[in-house]
Structure 1
Amino acid sequence: MNMEIDRIKKFPIEDGKITAVEWIKDVKVPEPNLLGICVVNPGGYYRVTMKLTPAPQSDITVVVCLPEPEIWNGKFLGTGNGGYAGKISEMNLMNGVSRGYATANTNLGTSPEPDDCIGREEVWKDFGYRATHLMTAAGKKLTAYFYGRKPQYAYFIGGSTGGQQGFSEAQRYPEDYDGIISLSPAFDRVRLHSFFVWNWQQIHKEKDARFTAKQAQEWKSAIVETYGKQCGSNENDLFLCYPDRIRENPMDNPFLLQTAADLLTEGQIKALRGIYEGPKDPLTGERIIAPFLPGTEAESLSLADLSDKEVFDHELLFPFRWLFGKEFDLMEFDFQKDLQVAIDRLSPILDADNPDLSAFKACGGKLLVIGGSSDAIIPYTGFLDYYEKVIERQGSLAETKKFFRFLLMPGFGHTVGGSGVQEVGLIGCSEVPRDPEHDVLCAMEQWVEHQTAPECLLGTHFKRTDTGLKFDHARPGYVYPYVTEFMGGDPKKPQNYRPVEDECLWP
């Protein structure tokens, strides 16, 4: 092992260096995390840590995990991060290594303290696109160096910020990956964070408008009861399958207004009206981004988290703090003037919203986007709108589906968790069957390597036990333009659902 470690240490890296090489032999199956999820035991591997400095302000950490040669599957996997990053995503690394992949992850050049990036434009570039590409280039070269041959296929998987990383790779570096999986991608970064600011402002500008988790859950239950049938939910669902079918502000619904009067304060009612309305340009009235989805009020990073003023500001509004400074009062953020400044300065760096994917298609790349109807922080209607723009560029849905598919999972939250579907293979949960029907990475392998494109994915719902979460049942989601319709019978059996084309999808 020492000889291999010494050999790895000699690997040359442009604008960087290897800082550590470790042989990880006896890996214990990780304890259940906060979600109660256990990942698969990855087995023995070499863990290689790199520091990359492509620009004077850059300080990018990359970790590449190399399974033993007899375990390596001959492929490379790049994995995404989340939020403002600032650290290595260990669970995503273990997901790849446990499958036999040479697997890479990066902290995107940011630090654990998001305010450390204030005014540091080169770090913004690392976060927006550069770190992911350099991770990929260095990771694939190291893989070829260690095993003596290039990886046969290269894949990327990530959610949220990781989803944006995938979009950036497809648009900026179309030759990097054969297949890219993006869950709930934060691709329209600047406008998305203006959506966060808007929702946050609505709660904190009103008196007594903060929500407890209990209040958020009670209100969500009222929303589901009111709109469930309209939105394709069956009577057992605790979520809305297709909330984009709601074409009114819920605060204009007489039944909900009466319920609100019993459950909520006047300030909370006003805040909800603004949140459901969504951010608009104050001069033109034009919608800035897709609004908040009804039925997601009790999900992660929704009403209760928005109510924690200081933490949400610090943790979720970071792009505007980076640009304007931490002393800038985001309660005074102007959705015309300040947003335009942010778009001009940050969008060329942080956004990945170019619908021209012709270069990625020409390289033979495949892109699969997964969204969830219970995602409170990145409404699926936003990237569905992007998908429609790609279809327009490609000339038809049929042409687009040859390389790019969008799949919506009912009841799926923000990349993992949710009231319905809770995992599709992003983090390597040991309870998710590793086959193309249940696991999104297996589905992508089938598409790239065997030309079998995904039409349906069975998302996993867990049951809680004393030893963590266990597989309970699976719920199907279908590739756009099809949605899931319940035909009756046992709602836990996927055969009791069918795909139907939906004419009500956004916009």
Structure 2
Amino acid sequence: MRITGLALLALGAFFSTTAAAAPPAQATPSVADACAAMKDFKLQGLKITATTRVGPAAPGTVSTGYGPPVAVGLPAYCKVEGVINERSGAQGKPFGIHFALALPDAWSGRFLLQGGGGLNGSVGLPLGAVAAGDRPALARGFAVVSHDSGHTGAVFDGSFMADQRASLDFAEASVRVVTEAAKAMTAGYYGKPIARSYMAGCSTGGRESMLAAERYPELFDGIVVGAPAMRTGNSNLALAWAAVQFNQAAPRDGKGLPIVDQIFSASDRKLYLDALLDQCDALDGLKDGVIANAGGCRFKPALLRCKGKKTDGCFSAAQVKAIETAFQPPRDASGRPLYSPYPYDTGNVFNGPGISGFLPTGKPGVFGPASRDLTMDVDARIEAIRADAGQRLTDTNLWTNLNSFTGHGGKILFYHGASDPWFSALDTLDYWHRAEAANGAIWADSSRFYMVPGMGHCGGGANTYDSFDLLGAVVDWVEKGKAPEAVTARRTLPTPGERPLCPWPSYPQFIGGDEKSAASFKCSKPA
């Protein structure tokens, strides 16, 4: 039988052999014995494949898999690994939802589901590091579970979608299935119920976090949503549209194709960044290379148009047009925008590990070589997206009625890097505003949105304060009724420093003092 919301067995059944053998006067079993005994946990559709005692670990010795090593020590914990609903699927391939559950010795009573990334396909280390600053959930005593969403494969390998159940598990079902099974294991291991449940994720994990609030509103008390990959068909359409606009400004080769690496020279890219900073940097009261007042920035590329021949100090008319149109969304035949605009931000020209700036360089990107298309049929593309059932299942952009989630006191924080080149931060902000309109006055007591200046997709970027603890903020809101306002954000490069990350629409305004100290700023709203 499959694990569903109605198929969970009574919690008292999972340790039947161990409990029956224990005499009344037996001493409390050691944590090692308790961890080993998890092999006997009984739940329909669940197979435990390994139980391992791990740690404790010293600071800086454990990698998150996508960032620097964890800066704080990790507690000793029991790692339970297994698979849920194992089966043979399409083309005889094996499927099932593989997971890893970390059960710390010193449990806080809290539970966290860790979101995935890309198309998932692997089980990440269950740390709960997303938007947790330098102190992941496991280090705070959370029980943390991670999973592969129902298939095994490379991060962008979509072959699993040939299997119906695997597609459904990836799209949404795995979030509920893993959560309910892991909650049962957690309560069983500690012998008492979970006090509070949380979820946090970025990119695909952000989409999963959104769908948890939208489709399974009773599962979690607090949720953190980062840069959600919530309508990838539309975002990919917008990126393809932008590439066409840029390509139209490019010189041509002998076959009439655009020479992509000559659209913007190195001096052009510096000109863009310098002009953007000149127009928008000081809006927060400090010229420091960070556009903190994103809501007040009204960058005008037209001011850079050459009055005569193209030189290094100005843009050609074609370049200006390309910039102005590429950052705007494509529109269908009726004039309706098919995505959101992209923000003008410092990371538009950043080319760091794993991501590239929005302005093209001609270099191969994460998804392959740069496009050389000069035209595109926008209406045909959007019709194909609308007809794709998989796109509809993974689209969390439409559902805004969250009154069941907010009705039981649920809190949800959103964050998105202004320099994210894949998913526009303004698209997430658009959803947040529509949810605000749909949910009324309770939204102000249920949600916040944070725009992160300079940050790329889920982290990194040029001159950005991308380390912040929104997990702690949502916990304090849920458990102490302390609504989050400014959250301290930190960086290490190019120089160490900190400043407030302010809830939208406010921004950190410099009020004087040491610009490396968060105390030198206050959250202010744009005029």
* TM-score in same-fold range (> 0.5): yes
Question: 1:387 — aligned with what?
Answer: 432
Question: 1:480 — aligned with what?
Answer: 504
Question: 1:80 — aligned with what?
Answer: 115
Distance in 1, Cα, partners of 2:417 & 2:466: 11
Q: Which residues of 2 match residues 161-200 of structure 1 at below 5 A?
A: 161-200=204-243
Question: 2:140 — aligned with what?
Answer: 99
Q: Deviations over 1:258-287 (max 9, x none)?
A: 998428997876754542233222x22322
Q: Deviations over 1:187-244 (max 9, x none)?
A: 33332232233334555675222389966862552243332247546212x2322445
Q: Which residues of 2 match residues 153-168 of structure 1 at below 5 A?
A: 153-168=196-211
Question: 1:128 — aligned with what?
Answer: 171
Distance in 2, Cα, partners of 1:259 & 1:179: 57
Q: Which residues of 2 match residues 41-440 of structure 1 at below 5 A?
A: 41-53=73-85, 56=89, 58-68=95-105, 71-90=106-125, 92-93=127-128, 95-110=136-151, 111-112=153-154, 114-202=157-245, 206=250, 207-210=258-261, 218-229=270-281, 231-232=283-284, 234-236=286-288, 238-247=289-298, 250=301, 252-254=302-304, 261-262=311-312, 272-281=323-332, 283-295=333-345, 296-299=347-350, 301-303=355-357, 311-313=365-367, 334-344=377-387, 345-353=389-397, 354-396=399-441, 399-425=442-468, 439-440=469-470
**Partners of 1:375 and 1:414 within 8 A in 2:** yes
Letter in 1 for 2:148: N
Larger of the two Rg values belongs to structure: 2
Q: Deviations over 1:354-392 (max 9, x none)?
A: 111111111221101123333333322112211221221
User: What SS is found at the alignment partner of 1:294?
Assistant: coil
TM-score computed with the length of structure 2 as normaliser: 0.77
Tell me: CA distance 1:359–1:473, structure 2 relative to 1, closer, same or farther (3 Å): same
Distance in 1, Cα, partners of 2:79 & 2:381: 43
**Partners of 2:260 and 2:360 within 8 A in 1:** no
Distance in 1, Cα, partners of 2:48 & 2:114: 19
Q: Deviations over 1:92-138 (max 9, x none)?
A: 44622222111011222342151423544433322221122222111
- Report 1 or 2 for greater relative contact order, CA contacts < 8 Å, sequence distance ≥ 6: 1
Tell me: CA distance 1:37–1:333, structure 2 relative to 1, closer, same or farther (3 Å): farther
Letter in 1 for 2:232: R
Pairwise CA RMSD: 3.5
Tell me: CA distance 1:82–1:233, structure 2 relative to 1, closer, same or farther (3 Å): farther
Distance in 2, Cα, partners of 1:136 & 1:257: 61
Tell me: CA distance 1:391–1:62, structure 2 relative to 1, closer, same or farther (3 Å): same
Stretches of structure 2 lacking an aligned partner (at least 5 in a row): 1-30, 130-135, 251-257
Tell me: CA distance 1:446–1:120, structure 2 relative to 1, closer, same or farther (3 Å): same
Tell me: CA distance 1:47–1:34, structure 2 relative to 1, closer, same or farther (3 Å): closer
TM-score computed with the length of structure 1 as normaliser: 0.80
Distance in 2, Cα, partners of 1:293 & 1:122: 37
User: Aligned residue pairs: how many?
Assistant: 466
User: What SS is found at the alignment partner of 1:448?
Assistant: helix
Distance in 2, Cα, partners of 1:148 & 1:269: 65
Tell me: CA distance 1:274–1:358, structure 2 relative to 1, closer, same or farther (3 Å): same
Q: 1:30 aligns with which of 27, 48, 61?
A: 61
How far is 1:297 from its partner?
A: 1.3
User: What SS is found at the alignment partner of 2:400?
Assistant: coil
214-223 or 124-133: bigger deviation: 214-223
How far is 1:457 from its partner?
A: 0.8
How far is 1:476 from its partner?
A: 0.9
Distance in 1, Cα, partners of 2:184 & 2:373: 43
Q: Deviations over 1:406-459 (max 9, x none)?
A: 22333333322233443344xxxxxxxxxxxxx221111111111011011111
How far is 1:63 from its partner?
A: 1.1
Tell me: CA distance 1:82–1:39, structure 2 relative to 1, closer, same or farther (3 Å): farther
Question: 1:433 — aligned with what?
Answer: none
Distance in 1, Cα, partners of 2:465 & 2:473: 17
User: What SS is found at the alignment partner of 2:237?
Assistant: helix
How far is 1:179 from its partner?
A: 0.3
Q: Identical aligned pairs, as a percentage?
A: 22
